[in-house]
Amino acid sequence: MNFSDKLFRAKSGFIHRKVANEDVLISVGSGIANFNGYILLNPTASFLWDMLKEPRSIQELGEAVAEEFEVSLAEAKADVTEFIHMLSDKGMVEEE
């Protein structure tokens, strides 16, 4: 799938919280039929999930990660693409 020209947004059905200094995403509502539990987020994933409250492109997310975590744009975009793939596989993001 070519992700580069698409916009993504986090689906509802998850609550983003801190638990014992860790960021977690808790599945809630009818979505628990597909995924009943929670996911631990590392700092980059947590940052991205918050950005995904609004529709975002890979380019936009990559630039934000590169700036926030002081990594190269290429590296950031590769990480973002991988993360979006994972979210997409689990049905946690929707395309705008």
**What is the separation of C-alpha 3 from the centre of its chain, rounded to a whole number of angstroms?**
14
Closest to 45 (Cα-Cα) out of 86, 83, 93? 83
DSSP 74: H
3 binds another protein (CB under 8 A): no
Report, in Å, the least distance between residue 45 CB and another protein. Answer: 17
Applying CB under 8 A, among 9, 24, 71, 78 the residue interacting with another protein is: 24
Report, in Å, the least distance between residue 86 CB and another protein. Answer: 21
29 binds another protein (CB under 8 A): yes
Q: How is the chain split among helix, strand and coil, in percent rounded to 5?
A: 45, 25, 30
32 binds another protein (CB under 8 A): yes
28 binds another protein (CB under 8 A): yes
26 binds another protein (CB under 8 A): yes
Stretch that binds another protein, among 4-12, 19-27, 50-58, 67-75 (CB under 8 A): 19-27
50 contacts: CB under 8 Å, gap ≥ 6: 16
